[in-house]
Amino acid sequence: MPARTLLTAGITGVGMSFPERRLTNAELETMVDTKDDWIVERTGIRERRLVERGVGASFHGAKAAEQALEHAGLKATDIDLIIVPTVTPDMLFPATACLIQHMIGADKAWGYDMEAACSGFVFALQNARAQVESGFARRVLVIGTEVMSAITDYTDRNTCILFGDGAGAVVVEAVDPARVGIIDAILRVDGSGADLLKMDGGGSRMPPTAESVAAKAHYIFQEGREVYKFAVKGMANITAEIVQKNGFTGPDVDLFVPHQANLRIIEAAQRRVGLEDRQVGITIDRFGNTTSASIPSCLRVALEEGRLQEGSLVVATSFGAGFTWGSVLLRWNAPL
């Protein structure tokens, strides 16, 4: 057997796509008993984007993927694996990865969807890294895409203020090991929190019926206050853990890209690691919580704002339903 070459995976392209339609806090004030001030103070969200009814997650997912490919200087036919983390696939099956493969013309790819709620992107990025570093896949698209509006109850003020639609995508491929790429990942799940943030209906335990629809079982349910406590602890601890484990301290981090669920959760993690505001990527004000799309789209925004340089040390951390949480540490390798 020939000796296996050691490969190092890195991100070489990033893209995003959002619907035009904005749902502002002022508009939400006309829909439920809420106030702009309350939403901004408690969450940091000012507006979010929504697709038109009938647009599936594949639509913006494909657009984000095309932008990521262009950024990486690749064609769709260069891709051999498409991983789509999402909680809002177009359909339960076939996989949205198949739909996007066909839409973008990635004729040589295989692919699959995976679900880890708001941690979907971070988990999928580690999947992509493992595929590339094993030598099985050469170029992988990871596409976090969500239509959260499809599972949001716009009469429930506890949840409808939080979520938005959109997509973010990255290309992962082997990079020059001297340029480092993805350094480490720490990933966790704890199913004891499953009932605190969930959608009961539509799965095998509760197939859709007239009763399940009437009971609003096909919408997001969240015990916000409880989830908040777990999220603060989970995000802060795992971010500190990955930075320290790899011999870095707060000032070494060029960009912290947290999942965008709540500005106060982000600030708690930021304080724990000792990061200045200039080291933190924030998009929650304009997009709300877009689940698996939040981290890749935040990376794209940071790139467009000139906040990423060759070799920038980036930490991406997520927390979501499951519970799921995780952190990835990497050096930035994509063109500027």
Residues that bind ligand COA in the complex, under the rule CB under 6 A: 34, 38, 42-43, 118, 157-158, 161, 197, 224-225, 227-228, 231, 261-262, 265, 289, 319-320
301 Cβ contact partners less than 8 Å away, ≥ 6 residues apart:
16, 281, 283
Sign of the torsion formed by the C-alpha atoms of 271, 275, 278 and 284:
negative
The residue of the chain with the least Cβ separation from ligand COA equals 224
In the complex, minimum distance from the CB of residue 262 to ligand COA, in angstroms, rounded to a whole number: 4
- Output the six-digit token pair for 274: 């000792």
160 part of the active site: no
CA distance 166 to 287: 8
Q: Which is nearer to ligand COA, 99 or 236 (CB)?
A: 236
Q: Which is nearer to ligand COA, 110 or 228 (CB)?
A: 228
In the complex, minimum distance from the CB of residue 172 to ligand COA, in angstroms, rounded to a whole number: 24
CA distance 94 to 90: 9
- Residue pair 131/140 in contact (Cβ under 8 Å)? The answer is yes
Q: Which is nearer to ligand COA, 111 or 234 (CB)?
A: 234
Cβ neighbourhood burial of 68 (10 Å; 0-12, 13-18, 19+): buried
Catalytic residue among 25, 127, 262, 289: 289
- Residue pair 144/114 in contact (Cβ under 8 Å)? The answer is no
118 part of the active site: yes
Catalytic residue among 118, 160, 262, 333: 118
CA distance 167 to 87: 12
60 part of the active site: no
In the complex, minimum distance from the CB of residue 154 to ligand COA, in angstroms, rounded to a whole number: 12
In the complex, minimum distance from the CB of residue 103 to ligand COA, in angstroms, rounded to a whole number: 27
Q: Which is nearer to ligand COA, 158 or 237 (CB)?
A: 158
Catalytic residue among 71, 98, 160, 259: 259
CA distance 279 to 295: 15
Catalytic residues: 118, 259, 289
